[in-house]
Amino acid sequence: MAQHYDLAVLGGGPGGYVAAIRAGQLGLKTVVIDKDNLGGVCLNWGCIPTKALLKSAEMYESLTKRSGEFGLTFDNPGFDFEKIIGRSRDVSSRITKNVEMLVKKNKVDRVRGTGRFVGKNKLAVTDENGAPLEEIEATNVIVATGARPRTIDAVPVDREVIVTSKEAMTLPKLPERFVVVGAGAIGVEFAYFYAALGSKVTIVEMMDRILPVEDEESSAAVAKSFKKNLGVEILTSAKVERATASDGEATVELEHKGEKKTLEADVVLNAIGVVGNVEDIGLEEIGVEVERGAIKVDKATYRTNVENVYAVGDVIGPPWLAHVASHEAIACVEGIKGLDHAPVDYGNIPGCTYCQPQVASVGLTEAKAKEAGYELKIGKFPFMASGKAFALGDREGHVKLIFDKKYGELLGAHIVGAEATELIAELGVAKTLETDDTALLKTVHAHPTLSEAIMEAAAQANGEAIHM
């Protein structure tokens, strides 16, 4: 006999487990179904373990290239690649166990298996071998099955030489030559990690710059740093025609600005984006609409075209970000419960890339603001002029603020440099509160801090910057 729940959550990533916990807090009898450890790609193979890897690379780069600058000396600093990977896996394991505990604490049932719709309100759960485990009935179902790396025929993944981000996190040894196909956040972060540890890294990007969704000045700053400090070769406006693997090596044939080019590599990373996990969960069984690899939903309620069936997170399409999935999950569950809740503001989503220098942004780029018809007032302050950045030895980058000239409204913010991914939250709050340039300028920022650069950028937009 099938167990009955108020809510069944299919998938346990940042959308799924957050939905389940919030439902438990609100008194809904809830079950979350996932065949793997809770946390999804983010906690198991993405956000969290990659940051552990990047921290190791950042520390090694500082020790080997900059220790003398700080009056420190070391004899033959080195690294144990296997231990770097092991620490990352340990961090992931410990945090996913914490999530499992949180789910239990909030009285949410946990089923380890693969769920599939066999009716509008019924899910069949099978084990890793496809054997039936149990049937679950639920008044409401939230699909939060996430996404996986997108692949293309030109870059056939074998998971040993031509790999996805998952395999790139657990390579058995440091590759001498590492080629990254795709220069979004995932590609750029792995490029930094391997280059900082000593791999010869080449980035291949089809667009005309790396981090193409970021402000052009942010992209240029990172590209300059990668070339100067890490020796990374960056090929933009380049199209991969074919990648092949043979005898433990890879060959990448591409066209770069009209010229044919061939790259040899020990490992090639396919980092061209992700696609939603919409297959094999029975969506067609109940008639849920899917378009271009994403479940169609009403972004106010996250309901699909089928009553009482909802979807959140990467499976409903961009932006493919863990924090977006979590906020969608909370909004969805609160709507199911009948609570008043603020909708997710998709115009105020922070984007972060955790290489060095870090990149963070929220709101419109300069180009998008101009396309939208705004007359702009732009303030920019370089960390080169920041006392705290000087003391830290992290003087790369800048803060760039984009204001509507007529009303002073903050339209977008872009930071490149140390702790950019932490600093961006101030600008997200500012946009939420519809803060203008004067308010940012008149807010007293502690000295010395990196955040003073935000205040100075607002001042510079008005011709009032003190330290430049």
Active site residues per annotation? 447
Closest CA to 352 of 95, 96, 18, 42: 42
Q: How far apart are CA 226 and CA 205, in angstroms?
A: 14
C-alpha distances out from residue 227 to 199, 219, 336, Å: 13, 12, 50
The alpha carbon of residue 416 and the mean position of all alpha carbons in its chain are separated, in whole angstroms, by: 16
DSSP for 388-399?
Answer: HHHHHT----EE
- Which amino acid is located at 271 in the chain? A
Q: Yes or no: say if 401 and 449 are a contact pair by the CB < 8 Å rule.
A: no
Q: Yes or no: say if 50 and 354 are a contact pair by the CB < 8 Å rule.
A: yes
Beta bridge partners of 404: 376
Q: How far apart are CA 28 and CA 94, in angstroms?
A: 27
Query: Dihedral of CA 51/54/58/64: which sign?
Result: positive
Residue whose tokens read 């030489």: 161
Three-class SS state of 166 = helix
Rounded to 5°, the CA angle 338-343-344 comes to 135
Q: How far apart are CA 130 and CA 113, in angstroms?
A: 9
Q: Is 428 exposed, middle or buried (0-12, 13-18, 19+ CB in 10 A)?
A: middle
H or E stretch covering 110: strand 109-111
Which pairs with CB-CB distance under 8 Å and at least 24 residues apart come from 126-130?
A: 128/35
